[in-house]
A and B are shown apart, each in its own frame.
Chain A
Amino acid sequence: MTRAASAAAILLIVVAATALFYVVVHQVSGLWLDVALRPEVRAALEKSLGDQKRLRSFDPEQSEAYRLRFEETRKLINRIDVIRLNRAAMLRRFDLTLVAVFALVMAIGGTTVWHRSRRAEEQRRREYVARFAAWQEAARRHAHEIKTPLTAARLEVDRLVSLTHASAPMTDVQRAAESVFEELDRLARFTREFSSFAAVAAPVLRSEELNHLVAEFCTTFANAWPELVLRFTKSAPSMAMVDRDMLRQVLANLCTNSAKAGAKNVTFAVSGAAIDVTDDGAGIPESIRPRIFDPYITTRKIGEGMGLGLAISRKILLDHGGDLTLVDTSASGTTFRLALHT
């Protein structure tokens, strides 16, 4: 629906509701005024006037008191008569006042709704544009990841064919065949990365001591990133419900990112049911901070990763009933927190 159409629709609703309100109000206001101006009321008051006058003749000593009461009643009758003479104008003013207030409220409400829907529409557009840019980036990376090993493999196969035809030495044939397998392995790794993103398994939760788990990770993965030193100081024992393998995967993803960001040290700290992972890398650029957990968001060049690691890691933590958050990042390092359930 276009802006003009939605504005027209809201205006139509306001007008229709106001017209309906007017009809209802007109009926109701006429009713209350007519109830107040019923002839029986006036007749009863007039009878009361007559009674006061008769009482005066029976009890002349109280004449002044009767007269005062008589005057009060007479004033009341006068007021009713004045209102009766102004009935139509009063009803008109009453109806118009209420209808004006109603129309004002409806107009304000309608305008607010319209502005909100416009803002929401703008937001959706902006988000779509941002997502579209991410998809384009992903498409470029996909193309590169597939095209590079395919081209290389094709060249090697061509060479293999020519070597075979030329009856080349077996070592050259083997080297060419190894090169083809290498490129095919690269393709397989790429496919695996996608498979793990497409189907993050549900965690099998067990109660684990976090210090023990992190220490074990630091020992096992001590040499996984040659340029990185993993540091961990044991703190008070802390139990949490975790899937050991999946948590290791998250820690490994974070370490991989740290290594690629030029970090030399990664420090692990356990505090309650949370693990803080801090590196001394270059930090995360401000422009992508709000979207670092979105898939395909990465600062790396094409061919150096798909930007799926943090998205997968956060999904794992969410499946644990916890969350993965960016605590702090600057030019001197970054801290992520893995919040878990006890």
Chain B
Amino acid sequence: MVKRLAAAIIVCVALSARAQPRPSFAALPGAAAAISLPASMLDEKAIRKQLNSGLTTVFLMIARERGTRNAGAARVEIRYDLWDEVWIVRKIEVDKRIEQQRLASFDALAKWWKNPVRLFVSDGGNVVLDVELRVLPFSAAEERDAREWISKSGGVAATGGGGGIVDALIGTTITARPITTYRWSVELTLK
């Protein structure tokens, strides 16, 4: 009985380990740490569904240096433009460098996706980074637009005289909650 239970636990751990896509990390010149995300991540069911929704899928990456208060962040935004049928991507790295592109196909997107993203900069030396990737279902602009729509128009609720206040209250609940979150740790020597 105990052996069976242990085996089941091992299988579960193995499956979950396999389910967690593992990115690669690299130390770049300028004492920067970069992350390269695997293309398989875009094929994750929840993420693929979100990418096809027409909303902007936001990949927010936060790196915290273990034992210190140092941190860095980067963001990748992907939206499928239904009119031109292209992928519009935007990358904002830790040093505020912005890259924006229109990619003609999903394959092109997958290729671009694997490019390293600079997400942490330090003074150099050995660092242990705890990296968190949050996948948000829509951008801040889309969140704001939906809030305003609800608050101004009464949205979907016809609540009478006090409707404006109620709608505004409801509107403020609209926030991008992560559809999935990944966490990794990595040790790098930054120069």
Contact = CB atoms under 8 A, between A and B. Distances in A.
Contacts of B28: none
Interface string B161-181: 000001001101111010000
B26 interface: no
A82 B157 contact: no
A49 interface: yes
Q: How large is the interface on A (under 10, 10 to 19, 20 to 34, 35 or more residues)?
A: 20 to 34
A268 to B, nearest CB: 62
A75 B138 CA distance: 12
Interface residues of B, number: 25
Interface string A66-103: 01001100110111011101100110111001100000
B132 interface: no
A74 B138 CA distance: 14
Contact of A86 (B54, B82, B169, B173): B173
Contacts of B174: 82-83, 86, 89-90
B156 A82 contact: no
A75 B145 CA distance: 9
Contacts of A93: 169-170, 172-173
A49 B146 contact: no
Nearest to B137: A85
Given A33-B156, A83-B150, A85-B137, 17 more contacts: A74-B83, A75-B145, A78-B55, A78-B145, A79-B149, A81-B53, A81-B55, A81-B138, A82-B145, A83-B156, A86-B173, A86-B174, A90-B170, A90-B174, A92-B173, A93-B172, A97-B169
A82 B143 contact: yes
10 contacts: A67-B83, A70-B82, A75-B145, A77-B54, A78-B145, A82-B143, A82-B146, A83-B146, A83-B150, A94-B169
Nearest to B136: A85
Interface of B: 53-55, 82-83, 137-138, 142-143, 145-146, 149-150, 155-158, 166, 169-170, 172-175, 177
Contact of A71 (B83, B142, B175, B177): B83
B30 to A, nearest CB: 38
Contacts of B173: 86, 89-90, 92-93
Nearest to B166: A97
Contacts of A192: none
Interface string A35-51: 11100000000000100
